[in-house]
Amino acid sequence: MTSFDAPDPRDPPPAPDADGVPFDAAVLQQAAHSDGVSVQALPELLGRVETHLAGCRESLRRKFERAHCDDRRELFFVPPDYWEGVASVLSLSPEEKESVRRAHERQLLRVGAETRRGAEFDAALDIRTAVVVSRA
């Protein structure tokens, strides 16, 4: 590799790949550029969590309020400590848990803005958190 082939360190890292996870690319971009997990690690991390959540889909439907559903994903309001349990099962670090929680909440807020329910969803996050899971 010649010096002109090398990436410029001042260039922002590429956006994480949204394939395989029920998140909009813009949400992944935002989540990847906040503190916590690296841009390169975020898609794999969210994929691991998605695999776990897909196995919990029926339980989520029975136990929690579904905030939104579309062709691609379902969004649920869950108790604030929900991500503690997921982090324990998947052995996530505190930084990974926070990155996952933040991505799920940002996707909820994005859907809220698109469906004119932004204020409602934002207020709900004062007492709960969000889970996004792909549709079966």
In tens, the pLDDT along 75-134 reads: 999 999 999 999 999 999 999 999 999 999 999 999 999 999 999 999 999 999 999 999
Is residue 124 assigned to a domain? yes
- 32 and 44 in contact (C-beta within 8 Å)? no
Task: State residue 123's pLDDT score.
Answer: 97
Residue 16 lies in a domain: no
pLDDT of residue 5: 45
Question: What pLDDT score does 20 carry?
Answer: 65
Q: Is 54 exposed, middle or buried (0-12, 13-18, 19+ CB in 10 A)?
A: middle
Please choose, from the candidates 73, 48, 92, the residue with its C-alpha nearest in 3D space to the C-alpha of residue 131. 73
Name 57's Cβ contacts closer than 8 Å, sequence gap at least 6.
Answer: 74, 133, 136
Q: What's the total number of domains in the chain?
A: 1
What is the reported pLDDT for 8?
A: 47
Asked if residue 51 is part of any domain, the answer here is yes
Q: How many CB atoms lie within 10 A of CB 46?
A: 27
pLDDT of residue 89: 97
Residue range 4-23, pLDDT digits in tens: 444 444 544 444 445 568 89
pLDDT at 62: 98
Residue 5 lies in a domain: no
DSSP 4-70: GGSPPTTSPPPPPP-TTSSS-HHHHHHHHTSSSS-TTTHHHHHHHHHHHHHHTHHHHHHHSEEEEE-
Residue range of the domain that includes 63: 22-134
Q: Which two tokens stand for residue 120?
A: 């409602």
40 part of a folded domain:
yes
Say whether pLDDT at 59 is over 70.
Answer: yes
pTM of the model: 0.83
Is 9 part of any domain? Answer: no
